[in-house]
Amino acid sequence: MSFIFNGIRIKKSLTKEQRDALVEDCYQRTDSVTNVTSVFRRVSYYDSKRQFNVYVAQQKIGVIDPVTGKVV
């Protein structure tokens, strides 16, 4: 069963507690070969049994322009 969380499609089946615990954050990743920095939105929830964040989905926002420093 899939659903939408803040504009990101979640394809995993989650319990109600896991859905209520979903959070969104952003991170940057730089490709070492092309030296291009991409910005992503990531959705995760904290699993108290395993004591770490479980990443559910991510969506690419764009690429940082090296001249202006803005996301395009």
Cβ atoms of 65 and 72 closer than 8 Å: yes
Looking at residue 1, its pLDDT comes to 75
**At 54, which amino acid appears?**
V
**Rounded CA separation 15/42 (Å):** 19
pTM here? 0.80
Looking at residue 66, its pLDDT comes to 87
Looking at residue 19, its pLDDT comes to 94
Residues 6+ apart with CB under 8 A from 33: none
**For range 39-66, the mean pLDDT:** 95
Sign of dihedral through CA atoms 61, 38, 28, 49? positive
Looking at residue 8, its pLDDT comes to 93
Give tens-digit pLDDT for 2-48. Answer: 999 999 999 999 999 999 999 999 999 999 999 999 999 999 999 98
Largest CA distance in the chain: 45
